Amino acid sequence: MRRWTFASLAAAGLLCIGCASTTTGSVTTGGQGRSQLLLVSQQEVMQESLKYYDAQNKEARSEGVLVTSGAEFNRVNAVMQRLVPQVGVFRPDAAKWPWQLVLINEDTVNAHVMAGGKITFYTGIVRKLKLTDDEIAAVMGHEMAHALREHTREKMSQSTASDLVLSIGGALLGVGQGVTQLAGMGKQIALDLPFSRHMESEADLYGLELSARAGYDPQAAVTLWQKMATVGGGGGPQFLSTHPSSGDRMAALQAAIPRVMPLYQAARSGRP
């Protein structure tokens, strides 16, 4: 019992250390910034992200699929450049990040972001879904929100904490290897997938506000996921998916739209 108490206290102490919020909140979340476990340093995450980003770009360049100019690149980049000035609302330091777009000429219906504002779009998501500029902004805002909320750092911190807690618990309690491996398997489903469903939902809401502040129609976030559903973008068992189902996603976005619509209208009234 004492060993279990010590393991519990160690786990609880670990979870308390490094808890903070990376942003100042959002109107879509009631202005409250959720507390996050941030055990891994921002510098470590940036370093690892840049390594992956550089390797990805080198491979794409060698295969002749890295797009750095032209109408399609300019269109997507223009959306990003319009969103970047709004990031300071969520965290002032992000306005100084070297935001950068990479466009890869592949049929993949996907986009992703690296820590620090390195965004990758695949031409497949724009072409196959026939995205409008407002829908591109919905995707872009979602990816930028992952970076603003430092979800990659949070995932790495959760994994680090879980590994250490499992190790402490197993050693102190004398847990057999088979039981520890079973716990690790559960951790893999819960923690080691790219982003949790909660993080994806959070990125949806922050991204919705980001795009609205830039003058892009919030309703486009719903039409985007309607299109994604037609190509299986929201399919699969929700329990084992890192993404919410399309229906849940659209319902949450619809509920949040009235809160960001005044921001959109204000942005539009200030534009020619």
Over residues 93-102, the mean pLDDT reads: 92
Query: To which residue do tokens 């309690």 refer?
Result: 173
Residue 270: phi, psi to the nearest 5?
-95, 0
Question: Quick check: 135 and 75 in contact, CB under 8 A?
Answer: no
Q: What is the pLDDT of residues 163-190, one digit of tens each?
A: 554 444 444 444 444 433 434 433 333 3
Question: What integer pLDDT is reported at residue 165 of this predicted model?
Answer: 47
8 Å CB contact between 33 and 150: no
pLDDT for 25 equals 64
User: Which member of 135, 143, 150, 209 is catalytic?
Assistant: 143
pTM score: 0.74
> Are the beta carbons of 139 and 224 closer than 8 angstroms?
yes
Count the neighbouring beta carbons within 10 Å of the beta carbon of residue 201.
17
More confident residue, 150 or 157: 150
- Active-site annotation holds for 44: no
